[in-house]
Structure 1
Amino acid sequence: MRILILGNHAEGIYRFRRELIIEFLNMNNQVYMSCPYNKILDNPILSGCEMLPVMINRHGTNPLNEIKLLLFYYRVCRKIKPDIVLTYTIKPNVYGGLVASLLGIPYICTITGLGTVFNKNGFIACVAKLMYKVALKHAKCVVFQNQANLDYMVKNHIISGRYVLVNGSGVNTEQFSYIQYPPDDSFINILFVGRLMKDKGIIELFRAAKILDEKGYRNVKFQVIGFCEDDFKKQLESLDLSPDIEMCGYQENVIPYIANAHAVVLPSYHEGMSNSLLEAASCGRPLIASDIPGCREIIDNYQTGIMCKPRDVDSLVSALVDFIELPYEEKRQMGIRGRKKVERTFDRRTIVDTYKKIIYRETYNDFV
């Protein structure tokens, strides 16, 4: 079988889809992958997968660039003639779905999150909803990663065909194995892992760090890991950061940072299903995150972490203080309970099996 995978970010495909790709390759399928090139894709474990690099501006709206992407997908599909196309994220879902539908190729779209455009009103939001509706109309299956996104698409009549709900991208519980909790919490290290952009709540986090310092919590330090979105760089440079914040940049391996953390924080505005929280919980770390879809499924409040209101600095500060003042053993037990929940609910092997069943059902009208 020839399988074509379309995504908008190399790291996302490598980190969250590689187990699925390896499974396809082990079953003697021909696997093609198209996304913007990154050296991470040169990893030998993907050597059997043919790469088709393409430029994608995830937030761009230049009509010429959008047409170029659409035509690229059309040429690729005409050349490869895939038996099935898997698409992830908004632009690959829309343009890849449109092309596959036009050429009569079975395709499966995964909604990893609705993005900022669906939180807005106006012309662009209406166009985005219409394009999604057309692109998903003939999808063999639409895969959702949280119930709220599914409900939104149904309520707004954007999907009408077959769909399924999965627990995010899952997490590789062997790679992100349980790590012993730091032995001492007299000095507390709180870790943020994610893209540096407004919608991840990074501004609220920076403000909360300054407030904690002003309140006298000088034993609390923050580490921030992630690459900065281009349209956020100037705003980030203009911020007056607390000396308690260490900017660590992009890190290919976040596990050593998780190991040193007492908690992982994500005050995001919206998520599909937060992979950074899943990975941290899998390693046995308590979570502090927004009470939003894509985070609340992972956290049992005050059991595996503490939730706060999105876009609310005071609520974030309150959650941080509540965590800081917990007894050491309760912090540690939070992490242990989180690990157990990940093992029960979010193991990536279950997600891989679900995709295999969908794909073989749609291509061979049968289940493996």
Structure 2
Amino acid sequence: MPSPKVLLVANTSWYLHNFRLPLLKDLRAAGYQVEGVAPHDSYTALLEAEGFTVHPWLVARRSVNPLAEAHALVDLLRIYRREQPALVHHFTIKACLYGTIAAKGARIYRVINAVTGLGHVFLGTRKRNHLMRSALKPIYQAAFKARRATVVFQNAADQEKLVQLGITNAERAELIRGSGVDITHFNPAALANAAAPGAFHGPLQLLFPSRLIREKGVKELLEACQRLWADAIPLQLLVAGAIDAGNRSALTPDELGTLQADPRIRCLGHVDDMRAVYAACDLVVLPSWREGLSRALNEAAAMERPIITTDVPGCRDVIDHGRSGLLVAIHDARGIELAIRLLLENPDLASRLGKEARRKVVAVFQVSLVNQSTLEIYGRLLGTPLDRKPILQGMF
């Protein structure tokens, strides 16, 4: 009997490579014929080098042109009809919406829609957001209430929100916490120069590990740093992230230029492998407004970094306040400043938080555990036993 073919679908090859490559490998190891569907970009060749076919999908992240969007839907329908997979697994909102419609047209009856985070449509409080929510609700319901669809959430708050809004039904929802982190790769013990948590440098090395968009709290962090610099506290801010040109709230090139011109700030741009950056920093601060489930926080926690983040879904799922990190209120520059001061003055606390952060990642968020939950859904939907389970990684 041939292996079931499954397609993983996203709006960039970058996403599939950076967030789902371990899942692709585990699905292949479990006996599935697994392929990707995404626009081709510089990461497509990396996926192909790992032995995965990536079918090109003609879709643009930011497009709202009706003709272009209709073309993207038709193109996905064409791919599904040609490939005839047993199951399609969608990531990112356009893939979920268009993919569910295309699956119906191609008579594909097993669909997984992964909600990686809620956007402005569901989180915004302005009148415009309410109007958009009302207009788009039937479209979202068509994808997330479809009988053929299983909806996977990364945090319980997002799941409760969409159930409350009537976008999906509780009985078709599953909770799988993020995409997982490789605790063997992200392991301070594997790097000779990794600083022990709480062993602060002079000046303090503060890391912001994120794309440069406003929703990640970059403006609040900069305000907190300005307060600390005004008190002559020796601090260097490391910014490991690039401007996301596909996001409407990205910093402008002029704003990035201002950051780059400040000698107290080091702009590292996009970093493919963050291990050395985490290992060299003292504190990680991510004041995000909301996450699906923060990959950056999980990686930082695996590297035993003391973490300051916001008390919002997707961040508080990773960090337990006072135990594995510190939580501050959203949009609270003063709270960020005080949290940095607290850890700077209490290195023993910073050390305890960093060590406990890794313990939680090992227990809850390591990629083998996360992927096993996904493999179990595949097995249940396809009605086939798994050939073998991934081997859980070592504890430390």
- TM-score per shorter chain, which class? over 0.9
Tell me the distance in 2 between the aligned counterparts of 1:367 and 1:229: 38
Alignment of 1:35-114 (within 5 A): 35-43=38-46, 47-105=50-108, 106-114=110-118
Render the CA deviation track for 1:271-329: whole Å, top value 9, x for unaligned: 000000000101111111111010001112122211111122222222222222222x3
Moved more, 276-285 or 25-34: 25-34
Alignment of 1:205-216 (within 5 A): 205-216=221-232
Are positions 1:147 and 2:167 aligned together?
no
Alignment of 1:168-179 (within 5 A): 168-179=178-189
Secondary structure of 1:331 counterpart? helix
Secondary structure of 1:49 counterpart? coil
> Residue 364 of structure 1 corresponds to which residue in structure 2?
383
Are positions 1:268 and 2:283 aligned together?
no
> Residue 351 of structure 2 corresponds to which residue in structure 1?
332
Alpha-carbon spacing, 1:321–1:19, altered in 2? closer, same or farther (3 Å): same
Alpha-carbon spacing, 1:46–1:149, altered in 2? closer, same or farther (3 Å): farther
> Residue 177 of structure 2 corresponds to which residue in structure 1?
167
- Scaled by the length of structure 1, the TM-score of the pair is 0.93
Aligned counterpart in structure 1 of residue 167 of structure 2, from 158, 168, 175: 158
| Cα deviation, residue 129, structure 1 | 2.9
Name the aligned partner's letter for residue 208 of structure 1. A
Name the aligned partner's letter for residue 364 of structure 2. T
Alignment of 1:1-368 (within 5 A): 1-43=4-46, 47-105=50-108, 106-120=110-124, 121-138=129-146, 139-160=148-169, 161-179=171-189, 180-182=194-196, 183-217=199-233, 219-230=234-245, 231-232=248-249, 235=252, 237-238=254-255, 240-241=258-259, 242-327=262-347, 329-364=348-383
Alpha-carbon spacing, 1:203–1:64, altered in 2? closer, same or farther (3 Å): farther
- Scaled by the length of structure 2, the TM-score of the pair is 0.86
| Cα deviation, residue 11, structure 1 | 2.8
Name the aligned partner's letter for residue 323 of structure 1. L
| Cα deviation, residue 41, structure 1 | 3.3
Name the aligned partner's letter for residue 339 of structure 1. R
Count how many residue pairs are aligned between Structure 1 and Structure 2.
366
Task: Note if contact 2:290-2:313 (Cα within 8 Å) is conserved in structure 1.
Answer: yes
Give the share of equivalent positions with the same residue, in percent: 29
Secondary structure of 2:53 counterpart? strand
Name the aligned partner's letter for residue 170 of structure 1. G
Tell me the distance in 2 between the aligned counterparts of 1:226 and 1:10: 18
Task: Note if contact 1:140-1:362 (Cα within 8 Å) is conserved in structure 2.
Answer: no
> Residue 391 of structure 2 corresponds to which residue in structure 1?
none
Tell me the distance in 2 between the aligned counterparts of 1:170 and 1:276: 11
Tell me the distance in 2 between the aligned counterparts of 1:233 and 1:349: 33
Alpha-carbon spacing, 1:233–1:355, altered in 2? closer, same or farther (3 Å): closer
Secondary structure of 1:159 counterpart? coil
Task: Note if contact 1:25-1:48 (Cα within 8 Å) is conserved in structure 2.
Answer: no
Secondary structure of 2:95 counterpart? helix
| Cα deviation, residue 196, structure 1 | 1.1
Name the aligned partner's letter for residue 122 of structure 1. H
Unaligned runs of 5+ in 2: 388-396
Task: Note if contact 2:121-2:130 (Cα within 8 Å) is conserved in structure 1.
Answer: no
Tell me the distance in 1 between the aligned counterparts of 2:138 and 2:47: 40
Alpha-carbon spacing, 1:60–1:202, altered in 2? closer, same or farther (3 Å): farther
